[in-house]
Structure 1
């Protein structure tokens, strides 16, 4: 994807303090800066020899008294050819040179000369030469290490921050053009990650920076609806995670959290069948409120009902076996399995929560929650494995073909019972900080945010102002709130994910607890859809010219547009904290070496005078 990147200094709030301050440059500029840093380290390393040499002399004096080290080490030939020089006698040596006169090159050459056994200073030559060689190798290694630490060369893909574009923050009407595409992208991502058996979904996040997919908490709970419509044989299940700015890849210091919960229960669908309504052998299933006036009920009739015909199960969709033998015929005499798609009720997004609650069957209503029903046509699933299988949603104990199939106990097992309808309640809760949270709310914006952009409203509860620049936080969490909804995702992509991933010959090959995996997949895919839409909303640059000509119809908040963390393969990050430390050390070393040189010149001038 093409996107603009903010080059220059910025701060990554999700790193430790010593890794937060960053300067982003292109790879070309990084190569130039690397060469400069290498040269600086070489110069500083050579000047630091003054310090290293002093330490070496001090260490040698401590171990080899009373020898004096202040001797000339050049020229080597003269020293080696004149062993009777007074400087090599047992009397007090003559200090012709100061310690500062011994350069690193001289010390290394002295080590070479020390191998000749015609002088008494073999040990000091050897020790000083060895120190010079080790320091030279250390400086070479240090140059590579410092460049590695200062930059993001050690990272497979460095993290960069988005740059502002004229189209950033396009309005919702324009954004809706891409919503279906983003739902498909989320589906492909989930299925692709599931196909890689070495990765969990939370670790499969190569297309964004920031934290991985929020960890999902799964637990069994009681029926969220009227007990009459929940299956007695199956328990309800709840999925919950916490959406943070970091999990969306948004770079901000303010800690605002959006809690997202999906509670689903297997339904007794027979209670929703209209026994007096049938059409060509099909039965009408409806979750609409029958107490509404006829005109109002008829207005939204298509959104709350579906015509069903069964392959497995008698009329009224009970979960009992009705004689299906596992054969799939494509003629007109017998029904055949359809693609693994979901039936979603309601089939559209109601205008607001109060209208949606009024339209729903009273037994399905849930205060402060968005309610929807998932249906999968019965008789489309078999279990393939060693022996029968049973879980909370599906039980298969009859082997198709029996022992005559040649597979023994391994083969296809036909369903005795399967849940065909799931009722779900979806809710959100916003926490402005650790102490101020709303209650659980539905997925309708009018119930969650007020008209103002600087205040988060909790109807009937404590009103808590958002910290810092509230406008960008409201934009971010309004976006997450709108696009991470499972119901909203299903409106754009009505198909089973896990069953489609495992399907064969147009019918599902189920596994144990597949419905849990299915709902988990939809829950994760909805969040990933929100992540994709945020990327598209901030980074799409195809219509920059059009956006520049129409500045009034787009959001131009620069902070919102310059805060998305992304992987940037063509950029390099420089750690400003480490760079500052390197510069301080370099200045200190250069200053000290200049001080030593000044002291030497002062002493030399005093001796000459």
Structure 2
């Protein structure tokens, strides 16, 4: 179980660690089996192994020495004396190496003389014969001694290094005893689970949110397969896409249990896709009929009862009519800069309305962004007093309004609010079968994939316990709404952005594409950190639209308890438990 540190916080590295031999799935056969032991035991094992290598080295020299001695054609002439055995049988490696050095020097000198013999006359005197009482020693003794020492020194370093995955010390594996994990509840771990969202953002911030900075690399067992594409059409039924701007589509493909840190035999993979485009907010604007005129943006379906009313989870109020547009010629962006207006990012519908409302009933969403195959939403940006050096043509950060003096190069937003329209969709595939479900909202397709007749028990359990949760964990919608609504953060890549500051952009034409890709990559890391959270608490979490067939009536109460998770080169076994009659399963899984 987890214990508290002196400061009262839970130490995530404390607790139970699985010890034993386990199989690491997804690795080559030669690297698949792993032995996990405690640090103290590992030191004893490595010390014993080093001692064994040292003893093996001396025995290898004795055998090599005997073979050379018995096969040598030249042997020293000695009187037979039983009390004085053959000295070469006790020749040490160091003496053999010392004896071969003059031979090696002579050989090198001979080669050198041969090379320069064509350039000068050889005046060297005949070598003088050194007389010694020691017996003649074949140079092969020294050569074999050098080779023997080199081989075993290499083994003495390489073998412990390879067995410990190159770690200076024994790898630490986070874990949670299955019985304690299964008894954990969502309320007790909610705060820790929520912290993973900010942790992902903090990791990328170390590289100033540069996607090529490598700050997220140590957290991946395999690099994510990310495919980017620009569309030639507007993916929304209302044709609300900004003119002359091609929508941006980014896909995270072939996500397996192993990639998120779970050691599993599952043959199921998961695909996640996000599509975004700058949107015209005009269809979403509502106004009061009588002065003073009030304006708000609504993502609620106007055709529903009270569809045009203020809904806290579907609407946000504006301070202007968001002109210039069809109803107002006022430069709302310049006015908000002058009045130090709000500087924020808002996602509509908000978190719970999207996760538990629109996800189940997409017809409650505004018809201009309504889709049956994905969760759609608006990301609304209000620049406030933020200014830029030079005009900005990016439709999301559009700034062409000079300040009220009109004599500087400072530019402010065109509108009080601009928006991106986005939708996310998910898909499941069965490896080596060519079968993939259609793209759909949330985990709807998880229900379909469990009907596949060739699905093994391990894969079926994985779908119910883990893969049905991935759409929510990888969701950019969830990532943004948690940062904004729960943590009060402003999740934009712009460095040093805050009201009344002049902000640099990476791209004055398509900064919005950079922002979308950054959110997407942060959501990937956030999902991996969230799944690893199961090393301490079970992941009996929300999974929208996972409709259970009759035979799996209670499968929504299945949960995943991961006894060990992978950090760097380390992997983990898993236990999959359920409340519908299955015993807790253990995937053969394991780190030395």
State the TM-score, normalized to the length of structure 2: 0.72
Partner Cα separation in structure 2 for residue 248 and residue 470 of structure 1: 17
Structure with bigger RCO (C-alpha 8 Å, 6+ apart):
1
Give the Å deviation of 1:478.
Answer: 1.9
| Mapped pair 1:498 → 2:492 | yes
| Mapped pair 1:306 → 2:299 | no
Residue of structure 2 in register with 1:339 after alignment:
343
Residue of structure 2 in register with 1:361 after alignment:
366
Distance 1:412 1:245, change over 3 A: farther
CA contact (8 A) 1:233 1:392 kept: no
Give the Å deviation of 1:225.
Answer: 0.9
What is the SS of the residue equivalent to 1:229? Answer: coil
| Mapped pair 1:437 → 2:430 | no
Partner Cα separation in structure 1 for residue 372 and residue 440 of structure 2: 9
Distance 1:366 1:510, change over 3 A: farther
Give the Å deviation of 1:249.
Answer: 1.2
Residue of structure 1 in register with 2:530 after alignment:
533
Distance 1:300 1:430, change over 3 A: farther
Residue of structure 2 in register with 1:287 after alignment:
299
CA contact (8 A) 2:331 2:415 kept: no
RMSD: 4.4
Give the Å deviation of 1:357.
Answer: 2.2
CA contact (8 A) 2:286 2:308 kept: no
Distance 1:148 1:351, change over 3 A: closer
Distance 1:375 1:391, change over 3 A: closer
Structure 1 stretches of 5 or more lacking a match?
62-66, 72-85, 330-334, 406-410, 542-553, 572-578, 580-609
Give the Å deviation of 1:413.
Answer: 3.4
Residue of structure 2 in register with 1:521 after alignment:
518
- Listed as ranges, the matches of 1:103-502 within 5 Å are 103-105=90-92, 108=95, 117-118=130-131, 124-129=137-142, 131-132=144-145, 135-136=148-149, 138-154=151-167, 158=171, 160=173, 162-168=175-181, 170=184, 176-194=190-208, 200=212, 204-206=216-218, 208=219, 210-226=221-237, 228-242=239-253, 243-277=255-289, 280-294=292-306, 297=307, 301-310=311-320, 313-314=323-324, 322=331, 328=337, 335-346=339-350, 348-349=353-354, 351=356, 356-377=361-382, 379-384=384-389, 387-391=390-394, 393-396=396-399, 412-415=410-413, 420-434=418-432, 435-443=434-442, 445=443, 447-450=444-447, 456-457=449-450, 465-466=455-456, 468=458, 470-494=460-484, 495-499=489-493, 501-502=495-496
Deviates most, 134-143 or 231-240: 134-143
CA contact (8 A) 1:263 1:425 kept: yes
Structure 2 stretches of 5 or more lacking a match?
1-11, 103-128, 539-555, 573-591
Distance 1:484 1:327, change over 3 A: closer
What is the SS of the residue equivalent to 1:210? Answer: coil
Distance 1:327 1:237, change over 3 A: closer
**1:413-470 Cα distance to aligned partner (Å, 9 max, x none):** 3345797111111100011224121100102x4x3344xxxx7357xxx676356352
State the TM-score, normalized to the length of structure 1: 0.70
CA contact (8 A) 1:266 1:419 kept: no
**1:484-543 Cα distance to aligned partner (Å, 9 max, x none):** 2122223322254224643044557251122112212222232333223222233249xx
Partner Cα separation in structure 2 for residue 215 and residue 491 of structure 1: 23
Partner Cα separation in structure 1 for residue 223 and residue 101 of structure 2: 61
Give the Å deviation of 1:221.
Answer: 4.4
Residue of structure 1 in register with 2:8 after alignment:
none
CA contact (8 A) 1:235 1:392 kept: no
What is the SS of the residue equivalent to 2:74? Answer: coil
Residue of structure 2 in register with 1:562 after alignment:
563
Identify the match of residue 43 of structure 2 among 31, 40, 60. 31
Give the Å deviation of 1:44.
Answer: 1.4
Partner Cα separation in structure 1 for residue 314 and residue 147 of structure 2: 80
